Amino acid sequence: MGLNLDPRQRAMLEEMGIRVWSPLTQAALATTTVQPEPDALAGVSERVAPQSAPRERTVQAAHLTAPAPADLQPRVAGVESMGWAALQQAVAGCRACALCSGRRHTVFGMGGFVPPSADQPPAADWLIVGEAPGEQEDLSGWPFVGPAGQLLDNMLKAMGLDRHREVVLGEGKAAQGTYIANVLKCRPPSNRNPEGDEVAQCLPYLRRQIDLLQPKIILTMGRFAAQALLHDSVPDVHGQPLGKLRGQVHRYRGIPVVVTYHPAYLLRAMGDKAKAWADLCLAMQAFATLTCSKPGVDTAEA
């Protein structure tokens, strides 16, 4: 796929620390394919997991249970058939796992085009799925704020996307909205890895969000988010490093899924930003294939 990057997009890539004309990035773009050979994936895995690299969160099997504090309550029934507003209310009042006790806000998600009715989901072609709220997200109630959120916004802008406004493709004029959500809606204390029972209790909310949003493509950020969504489609997904999941287009209930690093990880592992850009290019390529549009973009205020 040829990318026609305008000066703004190139500036955004530089914000990510990526020189788009560098041999490394060009090589990454040249080798980005929808279905790479297994051997190629093995090579990627070795490169993305050096012993000295910061470790990402790892998902734990979603069948574990933990002793329930006395104030826990079963998740409200019928999540799988709720409308958008009811789903938001269910999350806001949820006390189905122990994370409810330490939270200041639940973090439901944000983005997309504003719907005409509160019970309709925002219109969003792109869904970005992160892992769990951090301290600043817990304080604000919004996903991806702070430095990691700023990097995510720059990554999105490099792709011609914006969580805050409508983006219109240059040729087809097809609008693209971007919605951002996490697997867990409450912050794990000290940003620790999510526990299995927390995932088991919270994942139905994300699944219902996806059912309602019906995005054209999903970009997961971080190993934990990838494993949570690919649990049913990728064998032994919990035993695979992120590098094994990158570089190909997976499926979640028929929706293409591309896996990349979490921005918080990229802030600590600057050397992997070029690989993240290759992942974004793969996602743009998959999206362009879906929409039969060219990747050059213009933006328009919502």
Q: Summarize as ranges the residues that interact with ligand SF4 (CB under 6 A).
A: 91, 94-97, 99-100, 106, 184-186, 198, 201-202
Q: How far is the CB of 235 from ligand SF4 (least distance, A)?
A: 27
Nearer to ligand SF4, 24 or 212 (CB): 212
Nearer to ligand SF4, 172 or 189 (CB): 189
Q: How far is the CB of 95 from ligand SF4 (least distance, A)?
A: 6
The DSSP H or E segment spanning 180 is: strand 178-182
The DSSP H or E segment spanning 258 is: strand 255-260
Residue holding tokens 């470790």? 55
Q: How far is the CB of 84 from ligand SF4 (least distance, A)?
A: 16
Nearer to ligand SF4, 138 or 162 (CB): 138
Q: How far is the CB of 193 from ligand SF4 (least distance, A)?
A: 13
Nearer to ligand SF4, 184 or 225 (CB): 184
- Any alpha helices (H) in 115-168, and if so which ranges? 135-140, 146-158
Torsion sign over Cα 249, 25, 273, 284: negative
Q: How far is the CB of 196 from ligand SF4 (least distance, A)?
A: 12
Nearer to ligand SF4, 95 or 223 (CB): 95
How many Cβ atoms from other residues are within 10 Å of residue 247's Cβ?
Answer: 27
Distance CA 153, CA 157 (A): 6
CA dihedral 263, 293, 164, 100 (to 10 degrees): -50
